[in-house]
C-alpha cells in the first residue's frame, strides 16, 4: 500500500453524503454515529422532507438539493455518493474538481465511457482519496478467508463459486427497479465479479452466461432472468461459477466457495441470522439473514471506516477506480453472453 505524503491529521473528516435511499441512510448513519474521526456535515437529496428529517436526526449541519452546491461547500472534506448509478461518475467529477475525497457506491458507472471518465478525473487528482463501495471486502469473514488464501493455506485456486441471491419476498422492489437496474449481472453479480478478481488475483478470459425466468416472467421484458449464472475461465485456468438470483425462499443468501488444491473455504454457505439453533417440528435449523444490511452491516461500517482512515492517514484504499471499470466491463460481457447465448471473450 502506497503512503501519500503529509496528509495525516488529527482533525475529524467532514463528510457530505448524497442520496437517501435505504443504503444512503445506512451510510449517513454510519458516518454520523459509528466512526470516530468522521462528522456528517451535510446531506443532499431531492426529497426535501426526507432530507430535513434525516439531517435533523443525524445532526447534519447543512442540507442541499443540488449536489454541485454541496461539493462546492468548504465545510466538507469528502463526499459519499449514494445517488442513482447513472449519476455516479458525474458526481465523482464534480466532487474531485472541488477538491473533495470521494467514496462512491458500486457500480462505478453504467457505461464504459462513464468509467473511463471517472478514471481520468481520479487520475488527475492523486492528492485525493477515491474509494469504491465493494463492501464485501470489508466483511470479517471475507477478510479472514482472504488472509488464509494469501497465506497459502488452500494452495492454488481451482474454482471460485459465488452466489448472490435476494429473498423472494423482496421481488416487488426488484421488479420495480428492473427497467433501470441494468440486469442481474450489472446490478448483483458485480460484487461476485469483484470477489473473483480479488481472490483469484487474475483476469477472466472467457465467459458463458445462461439463465431464465423461473418464477417471474416479468424480467424477460428487460432481456433478463430472475436467476442467471455464468461460467468463466480465468487466466491460468482458474474456474469461476457465479449465480445471481431474485427468488431465494430462505433469505438473503450471499455465499462464496474458494476451492484450492490444499483446502476449500466456504463463506456463509449457511446465511445464518445469528448463533441461535432451533430444534422444533421443522427439524434442527438456523434462521437466515433477510436483508443486505442484516448480513453486511459490519462490512458497510468497515468500508466507511477504511475510507475515513485512508483520508486521515494518507493511504490509498485497496479498491482502485480501475477495478470499478474492469468489473463493469466483465459484467457487461456476461450480459452480452446471456443475451446472445454465445461464448464471449473478456479481454
Helix H, strand E, coil C: the string for 8-45 is CCCCCEEEEEECCCHHHHHHHHHHHHHCCCEEEEEEEC
**CB 301, CB 35: distance < 8 Å:** yes
Q: Are strands 204-212 and 253-260 parallel, antiparallel or unpaired?
A: unpaired
Task: Return d(Cα 249, Cα 97) in angstroms, integer.
Answer: 46
**Residue whose grid cell is 455518493:** 81
Nearer Cβ to a second copy (106/305): 305
Question: DSSP assignment, residue 107?
Answer: P
Nearer Cβ to a second copy (96/154): 154
Burial string for 315-333 (b: 16+ CB within 10 Å, else e) reads: bebebebbbbbbbbbbbbb
Residue 268's closest CA among 254, 258, 278? 254
Residues contacting a second copy: total by CB under 8 A: 75
Told to check if 202 binds a second copy by CB under 8 A, we report no
* Chosen residue from 6, 151, 341, 347 binding a second copy by CB under 8 A: 341
Nearer Cβ to a second copy (110/244): 244
**Residue whose grid cell is 457465479:** 242
Task: Return d(Cα 235, Cα 203) in angstroms, integer.
Answer: 6
Residue 2's closest CA among 141, 126, 111, 101? 126
* Chosen residue from 90, 98, 116, 148 binding a second copy by CB under 8 A: 148
Distance of CA 295 to the CA centre of its chain: 13
Nearer Cβ to a second copy (110/265): 265
Q: Are strands 78-81 and 101-105 parallel, antiparallel or unpaired?
A: parallel
**Residue whose grid cell is 484504499:** 317
Nearer Cβ to a second copy (12/21): 12
Q: Of 285-304, which residues contact a second copy (CB under 8 A)?
A: 285-288
Told to check if 336 binds a second copy by CB under 8 A, we report no
Least distance in angstroms from the C-beta of 10 to a second copy:
10
* Chosen residue from 2, 172, 280, 347 binding a second copy by CB under 8 A: 280
Residue 107 in grid coordinates:
457500480
Nearer Cβ to a second copy (112/210): 210
* Chosen residue from 46, 57, 124, 270 binding a second copy by CB under 8 A: 270
Q: Of 211-230, which residues contact a second copy (CB under 8 A)?
A: 211-215, 225, 227, 229-230
Task: Return d(Cα 118, Cα 91) in angstroms, integer.
Answer: 9
Window of 63-71, 91-99, 112-120, 202-210 that interacts with a second copy by CB under 8 A: 202-210
Q: Of 101-140, which residues contact a second copy (CB under 8 A)?
A: 140
Told to check if 266 binds a second copy by CB under 8 A, we report yes
Least distance in angstroms from the C-beta of 122 to a second copy:
30
Task: Kindly report the backbone phi and psi dihedral angles of residue 43, in degrees, each rounded to the nearest multiple of 5, phi listed first.
Answer: -130, 150
Q: Of 234-263, which residues contact a second copy (CB under 8 A)?
A: 236-239, 241, 243, 245, 247, 249-251, 253, 259, 261-263
Window of 94-102, 113-121, 179-187, 284-292 that interacts with a second copy by CB under 8 A: 284-292
Question: DSSP assignment, residue 220?
Answer: G
Mask of contacts with a second copy, 165-184, x by CB under 8 A? Answer: ---x----------------
Residue 74 in grid coordinates:
468548504
Least distance in angstroms from the C-beta of 113 to a second copy:
30
Amino acid at each position: 500500500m502506497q503512503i501519500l505524503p503529509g496528509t495525516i491529521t488529527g482533525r475529524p473528516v467532514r463528510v457530505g453524503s448524497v442520496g437517501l435511499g435505504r443504503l444512503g441512510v445506512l451510510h449517513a448513519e454510519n458516518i454520523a454515529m459509528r466512526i470516530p474521526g468522521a462528522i456528517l456535515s451535510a446531506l443532499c437529496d431531492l426529497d426535501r422532507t426526507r432530507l430535513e428529517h434525516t439531517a435533523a436526526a443525524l445532526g447534519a449541519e447543512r442540507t442541499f438539493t443540488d449536489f454541485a452546491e454541496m461539493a462546492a461547500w468548504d465545510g466538507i472534506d469528502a463526499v459519499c455518493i449514494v445517488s442513482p448509478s447513472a449519476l455516479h461518475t458525474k458526481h465523482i467529477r464534480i466532487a474531485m474538481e472541488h477538491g473533495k475525497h470521494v467514496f462512491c457506491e458500486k457500480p462505478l458507472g453504467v457505461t464504459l465511457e462513464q468509467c473511463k471518465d471517472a478514471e481520468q478525473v481520479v487520475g488527475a487528482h492523486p492528492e485525493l482519496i477515491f474509494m469504491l463501495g465493494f463492501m464485501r471486502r470489508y466483511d470479517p469473514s471475507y477478510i479472514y478467508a482472504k488472509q488464509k488464501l494469501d497465506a497459502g493455506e488452500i494452495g492454488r485456486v481451482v474454482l471460485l463459486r459465488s452466489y448472490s441471491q435476494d429473498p423472494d419476498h423482496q421481488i416487488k422492489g426488484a421488479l420495480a427497479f428492473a427497467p433501470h437496474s441494468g440486469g442481474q449481472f450489472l446490478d448483483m453479480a458485480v460484487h461476485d465479479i469483484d470477489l473473483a478478481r480479488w481472490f483469484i488475483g487474475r483476469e477472466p478470459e472467457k465467459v458463458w452466461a445462461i439463465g431464465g425466468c423461473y418464477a417471474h416472467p416479468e424480467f424477460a421484458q428487460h432481456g433478463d432472468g430472475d436467476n442467471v449464472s455464468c461460467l468463466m475461465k480465468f487466466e491460468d485456468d482458474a474456474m469461476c461459477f457465479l449465480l445471481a438470483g431474485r427468488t431465494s425462499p430462505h433469505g438473503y443468501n450471499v455465499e462464496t466457495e474458494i476451492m484450492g488444491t490444499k483446502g476449500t473455504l466456504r463463506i456463509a454457505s449457511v446465511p445464518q441470522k445469528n448463533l441461535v439453533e432451533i430444534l422444533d417440528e421443522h427439524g434442527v435449523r438456523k434462521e437466515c439473514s433477510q436483508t443486505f444490511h442484516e448480513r453486511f452491516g459490519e462490512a458497510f461500517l468497515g468500508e466507511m471506516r477504511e475510507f475515513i482512515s485512508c483520508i486521515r492517514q494518507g493511504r490509498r484504499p485497496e479498491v482502485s477506480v480501475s477495478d470499478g471499470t474492469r468489473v463493469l466491463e466483465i459484467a457487461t460481457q456476461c450480459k452480452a453472453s446471456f443475451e446472445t447465448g454465445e461464448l464471449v471473450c473478456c479481454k
